[in-house]
Copies of this chain bind each other. A is one copy, B any other.
Amino acid sequence: MDPNVTPYETVHNDVSNKYDVVIIGAGPVGLLLSTCLARWGYKIKHIDNRPEPTKTGRADGIQPRSLDLLRNMGLKPAIMAHEPAKVYEVAFWDPSSTISGIHRTGTWASCPSFIDARYPFTTLLHQGLIERVFISDLEKNGVNIQRPWTITGFKNDEKADAGFPVEVDLEHVDGKGKETVRARYLFSGEGSRSFVRDQLKIGIKHKDPIAHVWGVMDGVVKTDFPDIKMKCTIHSEHGSIMVIPRENDMVRLYIQIASSTDKDWNPRTTKTEQEVQNSAKRILEPYSIEWERVEWFSVYPIGQGIAEKYTLDHRVFYGRRCLPYTQPGQGMNTAFLDALNLAWKIHHVQAGFANRSLLESYESERKLIAENLLNFDAKYAALFSQRAPAAKDVAAASQQSDQTKDNGGEENQFIKTFKESCEFTSGYGVAYDPNLLNWSPSHPAQSNLINPSGHKLRTGRILINSNVTRVVDANVVHLEQEIPVNGSFRIYLFAGRPSSSGKALQDFVENLKKKSSFFSSYLRPDIDSVSHHERHNPHSHFFTFCTIFNTKRSDVEISRDVPPILARYRDHIYADDIWDQRVPDATAAAHAKMGLNEETGGVIVVRPDGYVGIVTSLVEGSGPVDALNEYFGSFCTKKLGESTAHL
């Protein structure tokens, strides 16, 4: 057996100092990576140099897209149990020309209706509480963060151990212990001062040499400022403040203190808590504000840096990339998606599904996102640094945005930036470029079934959400959430009308059964002993199937309408019979939202991280499975679909 591969089903030989992944740092990026891999059966060593999780302060805004992800991981209830604040709107305040002090110029939805989000709000919760949710999940899977430990050295030496090429030296921060372990991968989620990055000599590219200094204060206040429970951007003659509501009647204030281009500038100690409060009081005039309690206060510089590389050898990864400044909290959300992107790729390589080269797409995909974010950030700052948008601008933007696609009208810079801003701050702006995983309309694929006309999905973007009825128990469910973050590709067969697509479904299954299909090539070795209660991966950890019919739930008879291989996923058979306000005239709203033919359906392959990979027609014959074989074959370890090469 290839020593480089960890077949998913293999029980680990618990060689005490060998790990699949060693993770340094238990912030959001390290925790999400660790949580996924631990759930999928990998052996993890996770250390952090702090004696305990984040106590106070730090990034705290969970974007709508991140909340989708946390829900998909089953962690949303634990987050919501803390009763976080929810930001639905952003208010803008400016100096007034008529009264002394500030006045509100307008508000806008933080996630307006042109974004089709399940949770159109940002969830505000202290990072320490978020970390604890992950930590408690990790503990259920036998991973305990080793604290306070740090990394003191590492080297990648395939000759020493081809299976576990990375040697990592770890040490208790007080020197109370040392350990040397071997790993298949080393991941650094250390934050901005990274030992791993230093060792790899990976530079940080600065978009802009300027560093900004912010004062940040979390506390409980008494104020007559009416928008204290909203996110606010306040400009005044005395300076600027950003207001972010928090759980437990708390509020966070970001107060911009100074900027400098001096590399050696250290402003950390230049402002006291009292000075920052006085500054806030002046800015908020004519409103009053008093602190009942300050939970956390810090003054720190934020620069805009981006790591030039994320890895040198695809064994040692660096996971903390950039810190934009106009949108506090973006860091955590980006970190979640970084970690998820890497987690499933490591999994597919180690499980023997994908070629090692799949790992290269981690840097190319995620670095693009980081750069886009940085570029956007600069544009956003430039556009809004002088004035906040007026109420009428925002109204016009929101309205036009809803119709943009239809009227094709030209958008002005404000509206464009407004929309981009909403996409970025909601997390739905993430769009991966076409590559081997994301097959755009221009992909040089052989199959002409790919990208059927009319479909509204965008490869590299998240799957559009939809409501359907689960056939076995008549539960109304959110289709995009039905497959948990299980590391598998999600194959959605929108099957149209059973009367129209019966033969196509039958043919699909017949072609799955062929010897060199992706289905037959990656069957579980333990397939004969899988419990009949297994819902998601009865055949393989590579994929999960969902089948969705355009008909009433009670008209679907699984034993009659669904071929056995698909029927085996009996909890993943759905009726597309729930009305949707966004497509009020559709018979089958989920089909319609995807832009798939309501009679004949289509096939959507979604990557394990929720992004659309490829969309094809669902026609009779071998075409659909051929197309999927071609898609998966572009990164899989086995040659797929040979038997159909002559067609």
Question: Which A85-113 residues sit within 8 Å CB-CB of chain B?
Answer: 85-89, 106-107, 109
Say whether, besides A77-B77, A77-B80, A81-B77, A532 and B222 are in contact (CB < 8 Å). yes
In the bound complex, do residue B557 and residue A226 qualify as a contact, i.e. CB atoms below 8 Å apart? yes
- Identify which of A269-277, A311-319, A468-476, A495-503 touches chain B: A468-476
Q: Roughly how many angstroms separate A532 CA and B289 CA in the complex, as a whole number? A: 13
A439 lies within 8 A of chain B by Cβ: no
Central interface residue in A85, A472, A559, by most chain B CB within 10 Å: A472
Residue of B with least CB distance to A395:
B554
Q: Which residues of B contact A222 (CB under 8 A)?
A: 532
A245 lies within 8 A of chain B by Cβ: yes
Choose from B121, B533, B559 the contact partner of A475 (Cβ within 8 Å). B121
Residue of B with least CB distance to A121:
B475
In the bound complex, do residue A88 and residue B554 qualify as a contact, i.e. CB atoms below 8 Å apart? no
Residue of B with least CB distance to A557:
B226
In the bound complex, do residue B554 and residue A245 qualify as a contact, i.e. CB atoms below 8 Å apart? no
In the bound complex, do residue A473 and residue B86 qualify as a contact, i.e. CB atoms below 8 Å apart? yes
Choose from B121, B220, B226 the contact partner of A558 (Cβ within 8 Å). B226
- Closest Cβ of chain B: how far from A284's Cβ, in Å? 15
Q: Which residues of B contact A224 (CB under 8 A)?
A: 559
In the bound complex, do residue B559 and residue A474 qualify as a contact, i.e. CB atoms below 8 Å apart? no
A157 lies within 8 A of chain B by Cβ: no
- Closest Cβ of chain B: how far from A409's Cβ, in Å? 25
A212 lies within 8 A of chain B by Cβ: no
A596 lies within 8 A of chain B by Cβ: no
- Closest Cβ of chain B: how far from A328's Cβ, in Å? 18
Q: Which residues of B contact A474 (CB under 8 A)?
A: 87-89, 107, 109, 230
Residue of B with least CB distance to A553:
B89
Residue of B with least CB distance to A90:
B474
Residue of B with least CB distance to A88:
B474
Please report the total number of A residues contacting B with Cβ < 8 Å.
Answer: 37
- Per-residue CB proximity of A52-89 to B under 8 Å, as 1/0? 00000000000000000000000001001100011111
In the bound complex, do residue B88 and residue A476 qualify as a contact, i.e. CB atoms below 8 Å apart? yes
In the bound complex, do residue A472 and residue B226 qualify as a contact, i.e. CB atoms below 8 Å apart? yes
Say whether, besides A107-B554, A222-B532, A532-B222, A473 and B80 are in contact (CB < 8 Å). no
- Closest Cβ of chain B: how far from A367's Cβ, in Å? 35
Q: Which residues of B contact A230 (CB under 8 A)?
A: 472-474
Q: Roughly how many angstroms separate A553 CA and B473 CA in the complex, as a whole number? A: 39
Q: Which residues of B contact A77 (CB under 8 A)?
A: 77, 80-81
Say whether, besides A77-B77, A77-B80, A554-B107, A85 and B226 are in contact (CB < 8 Å). no
User: A: which residues have CB within 8 A of B?
Assistant: 77, 80-81, 85-89, 106-107, 109, 121, 220, 222, 224, 226-230, 245, 249, 469, 472-476, 532-533, 553-554, 557-559, 579, 581
A and B contact pairs by CB, cutoff 8 A, 27 listed: A85-B473, A86-B473, A87-B473, A87-B474, A88-B473, A88-B474, A88-B475, A88-B476, A89-B553, A89-B554, A107-B554, A121-B475, A220-B533, A222-B532, A224-B559, A226-B472, A226-B557, A226-B558, A226-B559, A227-B472, A229-B472, A229-B473, A230-B473, A230-B474, A245-B473, A249-B533, A581-B581
Known: A77-B80, A85-B473, A107-B554. 12 other contacts (CB 8 A): A77-B77, A86-B473, A86-B475, A87-B473, A88-B469, A88-B476, A107-B474, A228-B472, A229-B472, A229-B473, A245-B473, A579-B581
